[in-house]
Amino acid sequence: MRLNKVALISLGILALAGIAAYAGIGPVIQSLAELKVAGLAIITLIHLPVIFLMGLAWWCIGRDAGRAGISGFTAARLGRDAVAEILPLSQLGGFLAGARLLTRAGVNAANAAFSLFADLIAEFAAKLIYTLLGLVVLARLLPESTLLRPFAIALAVIIAALLVTVCLYGRFKPSLQRLAAGAVQRLAGSQSSSGTINVFAYRRLLPSLGIHLLCWLFGAFEAWITLRLMGIGVSGAQAFVIDSLATAFRSLGFLMPASLGVQEAGYVLISALFGLSPATAVAFSLARRARDIIIGLMGLVIWQRMEWRSPGVSKASARYSLHSK
């Protein structure tokens, strides 16, 4: 593992430990205990349809890219999230893992890379809409909140950057195609990159964006269910604000493996608006991490099965795939 990865992970662990100590280790454990094993099982099970929907959103963009069906895109999405959440990598490592899995499902390297890029754009655009809705709800609930202005400014800057990225895509497409396809080819052992599809066609992007937005909205329901199972009585509107704004906050730590510390800081900051203690916020974040770890382990198992079943892939190569990052 590279030194900078070790430094980032160490920094994230220290940040998480510091926030937990600030909240109080005892109260955090007590809040987590309220969830119980049954509660963890419930929040894990209700998240499984979201994974399928995210795979469906990716398929909407790359459905003509190769032999992979919805199940292939769903498996690639599950593996992509598993690597980002469990292995000591940043989100970028998860993206590469997802593209690799898609090539194993029958998509050439260029289409895997560009469908992934377009899916990220659609998902991020849906997240911006979700965050904007969260700000609107916060303005109705707490019109004097000091967080409204900084979040609104940050959102405007991000939207402008996203629009610039999409507008410049056509100009830099050839160079991006060579770089992205080359990276995926090296990772997946695939040499074919012909027959690329137009990933930014509206008939592909709009359905994907709509499905991703549905997934984000369902996240607010998951937050409400989780807090209720922990014995915290919040309204649906409050859960909506907590999840939407804390999710946006987590995005700031995309280079940090699993957003260690950043996610917890976001939940502590946003939850405090509605009188939730730091211990409750940290416990809520840890409950979500536990859910993601359980699902992530499933993703790693599926990844290894796809590696072993891929034509021309040796068992040694399959074992190597999880340890070569």
CA distance 55 to 42: 21
52 or 322: which carries more pLDDT confidence? 52
The SS3 of residue 66 is strand
Q: Are 289 and 16 in contact (CB under 8 A)?
A: no
pLDDT at 188: 54
Indicate the length of the chain as a whole number.
325
pLDDT at 320: 37
How many Cβ atoms sit within 10 Å of the Cβ of residue 253?
21
DSSP-derived letter for residue 274 is G
- Tell me which residue of 289, 303, 302 sits closest to 250, measured CA to CA: 289
Q: Summarize the confidence of residues 60-69 as an average pLDDT.
A: 86
| pLDDT for residue 325 is more than 60 | no
Q: What is the rounded radius of gyration, in angstroms, for the C-alpha atoms of the chain?
A: 20
| pLDDT for residue 1 is more than 60 | no
**CA-CA distances (angstroms) from residue 204 to 148, 221, 229?**
33, 27, 38
CA distance 46 to 43: 5
- Tell me which residue of 52, 33, 91 sits closest to 218, measured CA to CA: 52
Which of 27-41, 122-136, 167-181, 264-278 is predicted least confidently?
Answer: 167-181
% of the chain surpassing 90 pLDDT: 48
